[in-house]
Amino acid sequence: MYRNLAVSQQVRNERIRDEANCGLRIKERDNTQPALWRRIGVREEITGLRLEELNAFLEHHFPAPQRLCEQGLSALFEHAKGVPGLLLPMYRAILEQAGSDHDPIDPSAVEDSLQRWDLA
């Protein structure tokens, strides 16, 4: 019984190795046709947010109601260049500068906070 288990494991390993080799052989063969291989290959591209996605992104990370007008949102987006890793801390800094009240934040206050962000 133990011998059969070892043989089946060996057969499984050979099958995996053959499948891997098959993929390499296909790639080697198709290198003569690069346009075909580019279509088969997987591509991933990581991009920043779009302006249309900014409201939903901020609502996801900050449950409080939106306090920026369209002009303030566009200034924040342009300053952070759509990079989520910059949008979140910049928005936190804007909220801290504005205080704890729930009134809308003036666009000039947003610009002021973003200028302070550059100086820090």
Q: What pLDDT shows up at residue 1?
A: 46
> For residue range 34-82, what is the model confidence (pLDDT) as tens digits?
676 666 666 667 788 899 999 999 999 988 888 899 999 999 999 999 9
| Three-state secondary structure call for residue 74 | helix
Beta-strand (E) ranges in the chain?
Answer: none
Q: How far is CA 59 from the centre of its chain?
A: 17
pTM: 0.60
Torsion sign over Cα 62, 113, 53, 101: positive
Q: How far apart are CA 64 and CA 24, in angstroms?
A: 53
Q: How far apart are CA 19 and CA 29, in angstroms?
A: 15
